[in-house]
Amino acid sequence: MTLDHSRQQLRVGAGLLILTLVVGPIGYMIIEGWDFLDAVYMTIISVTTTGFQEVHGLSHGGRVFTMVLIVLGVGSIAYTSGRAVQVLFETQLFRRRRMSRKLNELHDHFVVCGYGKMGKYICEELAEKNASFVVVEKDAAKIEVVREIGYVYVQGDATSDDIPEEAGVAKARGLVAVLDSDADNVFATLSAKALNPKIFVVARAVEEETESKLLKAGANRVVKPYETAGTKMAALLLRPGVIEFIDVVARDKKVDLNIEEFHVTDRSPLINKSLAESPIRQELNIIVVSINKMTGNSCIIQPRQPYWEPVTV
């Protein structure tokens, strides 16, 4: 039995109940000659079987009509209630099956643990870039918001062992931990690395001492919001034009200038060529501003001296 069929049955039951409530007053008005209010009152107490006293004495025909009305009313209420419960159950089951199918189809995706203030902006950015991702959140109210938006989600605790596995961490490309507490972010990082040692984990740390714990747990990058915000605000004071330009390039779609990161594979024609020998600048009009060399299986950014010195014009 499909969900559409159950909904159709619910509509039939609701229609039968409405028809009973409409025919009842008309029948009492015709058979007993009552006014509209008395007829409606008698219909309601009969259909709901509340057992209140009759408003007037009933004739033989009125009693027969009342018995028929009670049978139809009770039957339609029971049928409609049963179909309503069935539709509710099948709707939840349909949602779970559809979400499970979407989760099974995900591969090389991102996992966002926590849909708070930061998680919301992270999801918006990923969705804007058409990146595949799944939200892990245990708060039912937040999950409802995520469901209405249309994100793929898993409701549960990201610090447990089962929920990250359900979110496809084992085949995910990266994970961001922005849960309510630093401790939860540490546990979420540990759970993710246990399932997928190669997954790239970015975690948030509010307290200063949490950074070292997250790194030991396996986080590849640790973001400290207060430090990042403070650094940027100071930079806006010292170099407002530069920071605003970077923000525009990074976020404004209308600007025909983007900063992107590309991975050069072993089969790339750029292997063993210098920048001067490559066609990047001449043919693709791309300016290379940084090169990160690979060491083993992880990408290590080596601190280097700047290629230029700041000058005052």
pLDDT in tens, 102-139: 778 888 999 999 999 999 999 999 998 899 999 999 99
Task: Determine contact, residues 174/199, Cβ cutoff 8 Å.
Answer: yes
Q: Using CA atoms, how far apart are residues 214 and 210, in angstroms rounded to an integer?
A: 6
**Of all helices (H) and strands (E), which one includes residue 193?**
helix 182-195
Residue 6 clears pLDDT 80, i.e. is over it: no
Contact 112, 169 (CB under 8 A): no
Say what the pLDDT of residue 257 is.
60
Q: What is the pLDDT of residue 19?
A: 86
Question: Would you say residue 254 has pLDDT above 70?
Answer: no
Q: Can you give the pLDDT at residue 1? A: 52
CB neighbours of residue 137 within 10 Å? 25
101 near 167, Cβ under 8 Å?
Answer: no
Whole-prediction pTM: 0.59
Q: Does domain 3-99 have CATH number 1.10.287.70?
A: yes
Q: How many residues does the chain have?
A: 313
Distance CA 17, CA 263 (A): 65
Compare 250 and 306 and report the one with higher pLDDT: 250
Tell me what pLDDT residue 96 has: 67
Return d(Cα 147, Cα 186) in angstroms, integer.
27
Q: How many CA atoms lie within 13 A of 215 on its CB side?
A: 9
Sheet hosting strand 133-137, strand order edge to edge: 152-155, 133-137, 110-113, 174-177, 200-204, 221-223
- When pLDDT is averaged across residues 138-151 and rounded to a whole number, the result is 90
What b/e readout covers 248-282, taking b as 16+ CB neighbours within 10 angstroms?
eeeeeeeeeeeeeeeeeeeeeeeeeeeeeebebee
In which residue ranges of the chain is CATH 3.40.50.720 found?
106-223
- 304 falls in which pLDDT band (50, 70, 90)? very low
CATH superfamily of 106-223: NAD(P)-binding Rossmann-like Domain (3.40.50.720)
What confidence score (pLDDT) does residue 235 get? 82
Residue 221: both structure tokens together: 């990058």
Domain with CATH 1.10.287.70 in the chain: 3-99
